[in-house]
Structure 1
């Protein structure tokens, strides 16, 4: 696999900005609902981690949502709060009460979306985009436009919509892979073609239906997208969106500046996991409990000699404020077991090592969890009693 850094070799010192939609698209995850206190905690953590924008919600949902967005806006000092709108006057009117400067209009662009959802056509989409962007801009808003279902829309219409929005005063153009059907190379080619043909900065909003949202977002950035729409822990409709923590880590490892504090990602990830009721998988990239844990004897022996044998500096635990773990289990070798015994102040002679290895294997098979320090003390104690 070609490293991201190699793909980015022709993009020195380039910056990409992360636009988080955990409070909007993330909360649209089936079964997820945040309280106001949880929303504020998430917004403050996002602000501290360094995202450029926070989609704070949908004002058109009602007065309660407007009040919540107002409360969130007061807590954000770095990121720009954004209100998400449909292409409707009502949505703009409700957004005007939220105290934000930024609004985003989502425009259905595919035939399936225009005709199937709105019973409308492309001419309507273009005229309404122009009218509402001009109206919102005249009222002092900075407006971005999103092409909903862009991945099922021909490029010529995507370009026409972008240029209509630009003439009306929009500041950015988002393409949404609404059904998650792009692959990394098609995401790259789409971003590359659009950035060559439109005058607005490009944003990518990727869904994860085939498990490709992070990869598609990265490749769109390499293709020219300057803004990346993400959610914490990959929350979102169906299979979710591109995960903020994965995109930020990959972008930074490839040499692109995101402004994200990588050491704060684990804390942010846990806040959202708690608020969403979605526990983090232990092997969740970057923020999972066990992603910097090693058990296999060959790996542990090598890492104890030189950590770079199985850890690249770009994904070393300390880069993310994490620590390396050595786990005892079925696959542990002599070096790892001896290190664990020494760390616990227990004897670690060859006879002890030989006697413990089968016990580690049996424990792992029976309990389905790593051996803890107390487990190790108990095993050594039992061995001493048997010998006595």
Structure 2
């Protein structure tokens, strides 16, 4: 079955609303993430990006909670955004007044309806809760507001009481009915039953606000949309209380790619929006976060990379460009020949077959040791191979370092020089100095050298970073040569760089 046929079949089986609204609550529910507090300027930045993305509604905050929330709402409103701005309010006149004071025209008002909320939080009867909800909806409508009414903890509320309170607030003028899965207990099957039942009984548009406690917020929201929900509450990166909310980018891209439902958002803005929210909230995204995670379009396996290089759709459900992301070919133990050749081509590094094989083996070896090889690592390894002596009269055969408190380090080095193995031990002010002193002692009968320059650099961060060593050596006849090496062991990298330089000097000496 083709993807097109699958989309057609799905749409025929669904009860889709004529218009699906995206209601983003990053600035309200997202900010309720423990440890997150956004400044007014930060809220403005996020609101502007959400507006540019094209979301229908932005819940800018809870005006009654602080003067700062009112100030933020006013300043965002002053930006004259295309998105509708929303303020949260409890079923209290003072909360509605705060929304009005914030210069907002749309209120999202809520009250707990489940037995747990009635008995332990509100300590109110069903009748009292219904009357409070009706009064506040009427008050808000009398003041010209669009009203979205939320039955908090709706998914743990008795079905008959949920229908009763919804009937009453619709009669009072509510414009949207919101079904919050406040503690994320829904499953797709139960969601299907609940939303279908509500759609069959209410003409008022339905909104859903699902939490992610069991990792089902996006799946449940998609199910609700299949059953006719008119609006989905979401947050950027899925941030929110406890484990968060339905993820904006996951929902929109699932609808666009898997369902063939394009909501008209500028999805190429997702990655930059995600990055901004992550930076401002301090909540780092897991590397395997769908759509916007660092690994969302990263590939290492040789089989996968081979497929990607021929046709990206083999191992990607969408192109990274669709969400403003980028593809990465990662090097490591699973790297294949095609991936490495592609990387080298990207950096315009041309190796012969022998050089390529050595670089490939080095990448595999580093991967087997548990290291993820970065592009910078690869460039250093490839350049080292390009600049290395083609013949190696001197080869290292062994190295050991001995160190102790208040004792100079001792390096024992074994070299093979023109087929003959020699070994010695030397001390130095540090392990590198001791090892290079041992090398000088072993080669003194072969070549008299002076180390003119020594440079050490860590290619990438971390304690397992590759060390790149570059040296310049000269012999007694004034010949100079460079040497380069990359290795996870600084001492070994230093010895190999010096030996590379020495081997070049030997080749010069023997060619004269």
**Structure 2 CA distance, aligned partners of 1:377 and 1:111?**
63
Greater C-alpha Rg? 2
Residue matched to 2:305: 300
Which one of the candidate residues 20, 44, 53 is aligned to 2:57? Answer: 53
Matched, 1:43 2:47: yes
**Structure 1 CA distance, aligned partners of 2:128 and 2:372?**
59
Q: CA deviation at 1:329?
A: 1.7
Residues 187 and 216 of structure 2 are in contact (CA less than 8 Å); yes or no, is this contact kept in structure 1? yes
Residue matched to 1:378: 380
**Deviations along 1:193-216, whole A, 9 cap, x unmatched?**
111112211111010111111111
Aligned positions of 1:59-78 closer than 5 A: 59-78=63-82
Which one of the candidate residues 312, 327, 350 is aligned to 2:330? Answer: 327
The aligned length equals 383
Residue matched to 1:309: 314
Give the secondary-structure state (helix, strand or coil) at the position aligned to 1:8: helix
Change (3 A) 1:386 1:147: farther
Which one of the candidate residues 150, 156, 162 is aligned to 2:160? Answer: 156
Matched, 1:362 2:357: no
Aligned positions of 1:214-293 closer than 5 A: 214-253=218-257, 254-293=259-298
Residue matched to 1:33: 37
Q: CA deviation at 1:117?
A: 0.2
**Deviations along 1:289-313, whole A, 9 cap, x unmatched?**
231111110011122122222223x
**Deviations along 1:4-47, whole A, 9 cap, x unmatched?**
84533445794311101111110000000001110000111111
Q: Which protein has the bigger helix share? A: 1
Q: CA deviation at 1:130?
A: 1.2
Deviates more, 1:378-387 or 1:92-101: 378-387
Residues 234 and 241 of structure 1 are in contact (CA less than 8 Å); yes or no, is this contact kept in structure 2? yes
Q: Structure 2: which 5+ runs fail to align?
A: 392-512
Q: CA deviation at 1:350?
A: 3.5
Matched, 1:15 2:19: yes
**Structure 1 CA distance, aligned partners of 2:290 and 2:328?**
15
Deviates more, 1:217-226 or 1:301-310: 301-310
Q: Structure 1: which 5+ runs fail to align?
A: none
Higher relative contact order (CA 8 A, sep 6+): 1
Residue matched to 1:339: 342
Q: CA deviation at 1:224?
A: 1.2
Residues 57 and 65 of structure 1 are in contact (CA less than 8 Å); yes or no, is this contact kept in structure 2? yes
**Deviations along 1:333-372, whole A, 9 cap, x unmatched?**
0111112222222234443333223311232355633331
Residues 93 and 139 of structure 2 are in contact (CA less than 8 Å); yes or no, is this contact kept in structure 1? no
**Structure 2 CA distance, aligned partners of 1:94 and 1:377?**
59
**Deviations along 1:167-221, whole A, 9 cap, x unmatched?**
1011000000001111122112211111111221111101011111111111111
Residues 360 and 371 of structure 1 are in contact (CA less than 8 Å); yes or no, is this contact kept in structure 2? no
Q: CA deviation at 1:144?
A: 0.8
| TM-score normalised to structure 2 length | 0.72
Give the secondary-structure state (helix, strand or coil) at the position aligned to 2:150: strand
Q: Which protein has the bigger strand share? A: 2
Pairwise CA RMSD of aligned residues? Answer: 1.9
Change (3 A) 1:63 1:153: same
**Structure 1 CA distance, aligned partners of 2:356 and 2:288?**
29
